[in-house]
Structure 1
């Protein structure tokens, strides 16, 4: 059970750090325009300035979304009960999805 716990924690940390990286790069305006990372709406992909502005606006949400899974990901291996880790992992991925604003 410890192996599963460590794997889940590693996945949380990798995902959280990736979101933090994208959020910080978008906030600083250093996120290169591409079709894989960042805000990829048709309006944001029209030009460099639009892409930079859209990612600067979305940066606080990306940073918050990256910090959320990093907390249980860094603390789960130290918890003696695997069930506590499972609940923490579950909340780390469900809360940001439930609290996000709906589009449209």
Structure 2
């Protein structure tokens, strides 16, 4: 995590490829988002187009935090950003996500 002018940044290098492993980056992403939310701070999650990678991290956070299914979390995110469309590899990983396994990263 980097702090610049009072803003905390956390960058994750991940290609928008169906072979990319989203789940290996979830611990750090979930932890960062949760820390900011607990501090009552806003969180901007973004990628090049804001359609697949960033949306997938937000969907994963909602799934883990609120025990939502992939479809429920995706629909919630789509209500806020209609162009959300995780790539097929991310969809598979999120559909198979064991949310209980990742809850520890929200502490």
Q: TM-score range by the shorter chain?
A: under 0.3
Higher relative contact order (Cα pairs below 8 Å, separated by 6+ residues): 1
**More helix by proportion, 1 or 2?**
1
Q: TM-score, normalised by structure 2?
A: 0.24
User: Which protein is bigger by CA-based radius of gyration?
Assistant: 1
Report which of the two has the higher share of strand.
2
